[in-house]
Amino acid sequence: MTLHSTIDRVTDRIIARSEATRRPYLDRMEAARAKGPARAHLSCSGQAHAYAASGEDKDRLATTSAGNLGIVTTYNDMLSAHQPFERYPDLIREAVRAAGGTAQVAGGVPAMCDGVTQGEAGMELSLFSRDVIALAASVALSHNTFDAAVYLGVCDKIVPGLVIAAQAFGHLPAVFLPAGPMESGLSNDEKAKVRQQFAAGEVGRDALMAAEMAAYHGPGTCTFYGTANTNQMLMEFMGLHLPGASFVPPNGMLRDALTQEGAKRALALSALGNDYTPVASILDEKAFVNGIVGLNATGGSTNLLIHLIAMARAGGIILDWEDFSDISDITPLLARVYPNGLADVNHFHAAGGLGYMIGELLKSGHLHPDTHTVAGQGLEHYTSEPKLKADGLVWEPGAGESLNEKILRPASDPFQSTGGLRRMAGSLGTACMKVSAVAPEHHIIEAPARVFADQNEVKAAFKAGELTDDVIVVVRFQGPKANGMPELHSLTPLLSILQGRGQKVALVTDGRMSGASGKVPAAIHVCPEAVDGGPIARVRDGDLLRVDAVAGTLDVLADGFEDRPNVTADLSAYHAGTGRELFEMFRNTVGSATTGATIFGG
Ligand SMILES: O=C(O)[C@H](O)[C@@H](O)[C@H](O)[C@H](O)COP(=O)(O)O
Ligand code: SF4
């Protein structure tokens, strides 16, 4: 199948835009490889320190040039998605030893659960935690005793942070090892209904707690298609997972086999062997374009409109929102997974999952087929599925057709002919919206503004019965520089109630929403942010606003708007407590959402 002309054009545009930064990056990675096997350059004392506690691996480390695998782990008990990683280092050491190599935990890096911090002060550290993870993973790998690395991470800012670090060590092969989704519990839609009932005062806290505990009930990634599971999709579209590894359940025999195979694969791709495949050669412009296609074809998280830009920049590749918008315009939406539908990722996987979808998009010419991946040359590898047979792990062709067309469709008959994400622009600035999660009748909202500087003020106004008419809720001073660009997802229940009452309602914010947010039209990531003097800082209560996801516009319909003075805000309450006082340098150096909201420049 010929490659879609837009995919070709956007890829060429990215290559041209990145020329001045990609080449020097690749030269740096080549120079790092040319230095030869990492630990050979350490001093005797450096090596002794590195091997001292390595027990049965000490001799192999000190006297042979057998490959040494660095494990970067984000294990902790706070994220259900990361708790299974507790067992991985032992599983990995066992497999790598049997293959003649060694493995060491290079370092453990922090990981935040956005579900725990949603609506709390901690959420203001969430976006910054991505760059903290990149810094911490780099500290781990800076021991420079590794010939390849495996990255244990799943959730929101963790995979993006690990990818940024992996690119700083892009001369090393990298395999990302996931843990898999939680078993399906109370459906996401049922959970959302109980939340709305609680917000409306119809049920008590005990009913809400019971519903939440039934939804989030065990190890594994939460089953909605939010940022975490969008990351998992990307790791297959971009070739950093073993094929079909993303949505195999945690802790089972197939999962353990995939973990061990992934670790062995990483070492097999090192410069010590004949199949050298550094991560810098995998994460090229084509891989990122394939990721953007996957993001749109699945209706993935809006957070990846920020993270993919930061991830690409770490490898000298410059993406912008126009790339996402042009690809969205021609990419069919092939999946309906909550919040874009009622199914969860387990149902999606059972219906044919990523293997089927990648096959469809390869056939329709929406994906570059000729990419490098950890599974070998060519994205075709990712149309297959792992199976555990008597003699071990094998890959077999995936589902040749969708097993449930309410969840997963062929490219010839998509849910909609354009992608799930929409870029918007107008007199209020530039923003984005996940249109795939909003019913068409809510795609255009024109209503008076009600302006807030904090999500808790919105909740108070709702409780006081002040939000009874058509309204566009504007929550500003929530950008990266203001307070770390928190997700305002805890507003979803009350905004859904307004919508359910028949009110025209939308949200406009320079903050973010969760990948799990849906139903209510939300123009988010508004740039320039209020603290940078963006137009959002000049909106007043009562201004008529228009959020138009069909035309892709975001406008203030008030006369003389542009002549108004900016409004400033006292943000000091956001800058201390829960460790936020330690992040002032992040707030002072972070870039805008359109450039990835990163502290690493650009
Ligand atoms: O971007 C995301 O996908 C979210 O940050 C997600 O990781 C977070 O866990 C949700 O907020 C949980 O959803 P609930 O808050 O609805 O449980
Ligand atoms: S998906 Fe969100 S809530 Fe679930 S474990 Fe990951 S970060 Fe936490």
Instruction: Please check whether residue 379 is in contact with residue 287, taking contact to mean a CB–CB distance below 8 angstroms.
Output: no
Tracing tokens 């898999």 back to the chain, one arrives at 180
pLDDT digits (tens, 9 = 90+) for 14-27: 999 999 999 999 99
Q: What is the mean pLDDT of residues 321-326?
A: 95
Kindly report whether the global pTM for this prediction surpasses the value 0.90.
yes
pLDDT value of position 602: 66
44 marked ligand binding residue: no
Is the CB of residue 568 less than 8 Å from the CB of residue 562?
Answer: no
CA distances from 395 to 194, 257, 369 (A): 41, 12, 19
For residue 490, the ligand 1 atom closest to its alpha carbon is 15
Q: Rounded to the nearest whole angstrom, what is the distance from the C-alpha of residue 338 to the centroid of ligand 1? A: 12
Q: Determine the straight-line distance between the first and last CA of the chain, rounded to whole angstroms.
A: 37
Average pLDDT over residues 387-404: 95
Task: Say yes or no to pLDDT of 516 above 90.
Answer: no
The Cα–Cα gap between 351 and 596 comes to: 33
Pocket probe for ligand 2: among 77, 79, 156, the residue whose CB has the most ligand atoms within 8 Å is 79
pLDDT band of 187, cuts 50, 70, 90: very high
Taking the CB of residue 455, how many other CB atoms lie within 10 A of it?
23
Which atom, in ligand 2's list, is nearest to the CA of 222? 4
Which ligand minimizes its atom distance to the CA of 518?
A: 1
Distance between CA atoms of residues 133 and 72, nearest Å: 10
CA-nearest residue, atom 3 of ligand 2: 115
Nearest atom of ligand 2 to the alpha carbon of 227 = 1
ipTM, two decimals:
0.98
Give the separation between CA 395 and CA 381, rounded to whole angstroms.
9
pLDDT, tens digit (0-9, with 9 covering 90-100), for 202-254: 999 999 999 999 999 999 999 999 999 999 999 999 999 999 999 999 999 99
pLDDT digits (tens, 9 = 90+) for 266-292: 999 999 989 999 999 999 999 999 999
Report the pLDDT value the prediction gives residue 40, as an integer from 0 to 100. 87
pLDDT averaged over the chain?
A: 96
527 annotated to a ligand binding site: no
Task: Report the pLDDT value the prediction gives residue 399, as an integer from 0 to 100.
Answer: 87
CA geometry: angle 430, 436, 437, nearest 5 deg: 95
Q: Is 129 in the pocket of ligand 1 (CB under 6 A)?
A: no
The protein residue whose alpha carbon is closest to atom 14 in ligand 1 is 115
Summarize pLDDT for 127-156 with one digit per residue, the tens. Answer: 999 999 999 999 999 999 999 999 999 999
Pocket test for ligand 1, best of 196, 495, 512, 514 (most atoms within 8 A of CB): 514
